[in-house]
Amino acid sequence: MCVPFAKDLNTLYRSEVRMVDLNLPEKRSFVGPASLWKRIVAFMLDIFIIDFFVIGFFRDITAHLIGGTTDLMATYALLNKSGSMVTSLTMIFVIIISLAMAYFVLMQYVAGQTLGCMLVNIRVVYQADGKESVKPGLWQCIVRNIFLIPTVPFIFLWVADPIYYFLARKGQRLTEMASNTRVVEQFEF
C-alpha cells in the first residue's frame, strides 16, 4: 500500500471535516441609556486625563508665580500687591478651561466619545428623528459641555444637571436635553 504525500493528507483531511450546525440563536443587541456608574467612571477618567496632561503642565508655572506658598492668606496678599500676577493667573486659568472644553467637545465631535467613554464602552449620540446612531454635531457638543466653564451663568449647571438627571425619566442631563444628545451603551445578549 502506498502512503500518500503530506499534501494529499491535508486535502484528504479537509474534505472529511464537516461543519456541524448547532442551531444556536444569533447574538442580539440593542442600544439603551448608559448606566449612571459608567457615566461617572468615564467622567472621572476624563478628569484624571485633563489633570495629568493639562493642569499638570501649568502646576509648576502657577507655583512659580505665587512663590510656592500654600497659605491662602499669603497668596491673597501677594495677589493684591501685583496686578500683573493676577492677569497672568487669569490667562492660565482661561487656557486650562479652554483646553478642557476642547478635549470634551472635539473628542465627542470627532469620535462620538471621550477616552473615558471608550474605556467603559459608552458613547454620545444625537437624537435625530428618533434615530440615535448619529454622531453629534459641533454645536451639540459645545452645548452639552457648557457646564465645564466655571463662570456665574454656567456654574448653576453643576447643580441643575444632576437634579435634572434624577428627575427626568430619560436619563439625560439638562444640557443633554438642550443639545438633543444622549449617552448610550450597547447591550448584547
Which residues of the chain carry a pLDDT beneath 70? 1-20, 130-133
* Residue 12 within any structural domain of the chain: no
| Alpha helix ranges (H) inside the chain | 6-16, 36-50, 56-65, 72-81, 83-110, 115-120, 138-144, 152-155, 157-167, 174-179
The domain of 117 spans 30-188
Per-residue pLDDT, 89: 84
Domain count, the chain: 1
Distance CA(123)–CA(183), nearest Å, equals 6
Is 109 inside any structural domain? yes
Does residue 189 contact residue 153 with C-beta atoms inside 8 Å?
no
Q: Is 18 a domain residue? A: no
In-domain check, residue 10: no
3-state secondary structure of 184: strand
Which of these, 161, 163, 188, lies nearest to 173 by C-alpha position?
A: 161
Domain contains 2: no
